[in-house]
Every structure is written in structure tokens, then in C-alpha cells.
Amino acid sequence: MGVEEKRVGELRALKLTGPDGSTVTVATHGAHVVSWEKNVGGRPEELLFLSSKAVFKAPKSIRGGIPICFPQFGNLGPCAAQHGFARNSEWTLTSEVSPSATAITLTMESSEESLKVFPYEFAINFIVTLSDAGALITRMEVVNNGTSVMPFTCALHTYFATPDVSQVSIEGLMGTEYLDYMQDRKQMSQTENAVGFAKEVDCIYMDTPDTLKLHCSPTRTILLKKTGLPDAVVWNPWIAKAQAMGDFGDDEYKTMFCVEAALAKGSGAPVQLGGGMQWACEQELSVA
């Protein structure tokens, strides 16, 4: 139980141990969840993908885990940088480090640098907890500290581990509309019950159910429950793009996939947060 300090490469990190022995590790750089280990059959099993070539040195974002996309997802916002700046920024630890701690809370506030690319005063709390059964719960609370309306999009860009991506299937998206970035963002309807991976996939599913089933392997299913994040981005870089990324192994596309709880293109996007107002979203991941 509790929270302890550790290092991940050159980065400061916090490790939270839950009641059942499950653990989650969060780097202060980017408030980035880099590991979620769940006790399965009496032994720890890593459920998130982290590239063997990930760079743990600021200001580089970390390849894998759960990057935070804010104040924009992709290029859906004013920032030149893909996915905004939250994942490249140093966050401040605002919760205690002790054997009795039950959560990790990291905070980021607008700064002179952020105001150059996103001219709004804000504060974000990112709260990470583990349930009694080892479910990983991540909550983001955004406050507009200014007086004008603050628009933004966002996502929790979760990378999941799998022994074989060809065996992965995602349930819960049938009947939804999606934008296929492999076909110039063509809008299409999901007519099949399950989404799988046999080639590069890059789609934004809009206004999706709050619960999705991720069949990571024949023996492992993760339930993804989300609040305030109506969209789901499904991504795998496949062969060519994997080889083009310097912080990603050439063959690692075979052992990962992303399902990103997002507010990107569906109803309510972008958020239009009034002055002095707060907005929150949450994701819960559990082993079924």
C-alpha cells in the first residue's frame, strides 16, 4: 500500500501500490502513466505497452503508457505540436508520498510558455488511483482560471499490451460513426461487432458507448469505462510507420494497440469551458 518515489530513466516518478498488490507508476514529466501491473494468477502482469525505445528525458514525450493529450488531440487545436503540450510538460506533485497514501495527484498550471501557444489561464489536476481489485482509475479536472471561454479537445492516449495484435478485438463500437484517417478522414459506419487489426488503423469513433471491451488475447479482456470522453480513437502504426518512428521498435506494432478515450470530433467537441468553470473526465480500466 502507499506511494513511493522512484526514477524512470532521467525522470522522477511515483509508484502507487493498491490493496491487492497491483501497482501503477506515473512520471511527473507529462503526468504520464508508464506502468500498470495487475496481479494475475499470483504474479504481476504488465497491462500497458511501453516501447523498448521510449525516451525518458524531458522534453521528449514518452512512447507508450498513457500520454495526456491537452489542449488538443492530434492537430484539432491551436498548437503546432501534435497532441498539445501537456505530455511534454513537467507537472507538480500535489499529493503526499507515504505508505498510507491512496492516490497520486499531479497538477499543471498555465505558464508564460503555454500562454504563447494557448492564450488561456488554466489549471489541471490529474488523479491516479487503484481500486481494491486493482482497477486503474485516471481522472482529469480542468479549471478555466480566466474570464473568456476556453476551447479545447483532449484524450487519454492509452497504449495496451498484447502478445499478438492479430488476436485483438474491440467490442462496443458497432453502430457508431467514425473518421478513417487512412482514407482522408472519410466518415463511415461501423457495421461489424468487433474491430480488429490486420493493417495500419487510425480511426476516431464518435459518440461511443461509455464501456468498451478490449480482448487483448484469448485469455485477457480489459473493460474500458469512460466518463466525459465520448469518442474512442483506435490506432496501430503497423509496419511502415513503426519503422519510421525513432522511439518505437520496428516490430513492436505486433505487441500493442491503442484505444484512446477522447473528446475530439463527436458531440461536445471542442469543450467550450466558461471562465471560472470546471470540467472533468475519467477512465477506469479493469481486467474482466
DSSP for residue 118: S
The owner of cell 481486467 is 287
Instruction: Name the 3-class secondary structure at 87.
Output: helix
User: CA 53, 56, 62, 63: dihedral to nearest 10 degrees?
Assistant: 10
Name the nearest CA neighbour of 263 among 223, 234, 233: 233
Q: What CA–CA distance (Å, rounded) separates 130 from 128?
A: 7
Q: What CA–CA distance (Å, rounded) separates 115 from 135?
A: 36
Find the angle CA(64)-CA(68)-CA(69) to the nearest 5 degrees: 110
Instruction: Name the 3-class secondary structure at 191.
Output: coil
| Cell numbers given for 6 | 522512484
Q: How crowded is residue 92: how many other Cβ atoms within 10 Å of its Cβ?
A: 11
Q: What CA–CA distance (Å, rounded) separates 97 from 95?
A: 7
Instruction: Name the 3-class secondary structure at 129.
Output: strand
The answer to whether residues 253 and 242 touch, using CB atoms and an 8 Å cutoff, is: yes
Residues with catalytic roles: 157, 260
| Cell numbers given for 173 | 463500437
Rg for the chain (alpha carbons), in Å?
18
| Cell numbers given for 113 | 510558455
| Cell numbers given for 116 | 504563447
